[in-house]
Amino acid sequence: MENCIFCKIANGEIPSATLYEDEEFRVILDLGPASKGHALILPKVHAANIYELPDATAGKAMIVAKHMAEKLTNALECDGFNIVQNNGEIAGQTVFHFHMHLIPRYQGDGVELTWKPGSLTDEDRDEILAKLK
C-alpha cells in the first residue's frame, strides 16, 4: 500500500531499530514503548488486519512472535511477556497494517492490559454456539 507507514518501515524505506528480519517480516523496537523492549512484528506484505492476512502469513507471524519472545526474555530478563494484536479502531488498532506487539513485562511496570471478567450466561453460550455451527 502506497501510503502505509508500516509497509515503508517493513520494507526498509524508513529506518528503524530492527531486531529481526527475513523475507516476510521485520521486527522493530516500538517508538512509543509500553515497556523496555516493546517491539512490533510487521509483515512486509500489506494487510490491514488479521482478517486480510493470508493464513500462511498469520501462522508464520506466531512463529516469529514465539522466537522473538524467547530472545527478548533471555536478553532483557523480563518477568513475563504479552503478545498483543488489535483489529479495528474499537479494539485499539491505530495503524491499519497488521502487526503484533511484543511487550516484555517487569514487576511494577505499570502496564495495564487487563479487563474485568464478566460471566458467560447460558443464553449467550447457546446463541454463540448456534451461530458458529
Query: Which residues have a catalytic role annotated?
Result: 99
The number of beta carbons lying within 10 Å of the beta carbon of residue 57 is 17
Overall residue count recorded for the chain in this entry: 133
Half-sphere exposure of 127 (CA within 13 A, CB side): 5
Per-residue DSSP letters for 14-29? Answer: S---EEEE-SSEEEEE
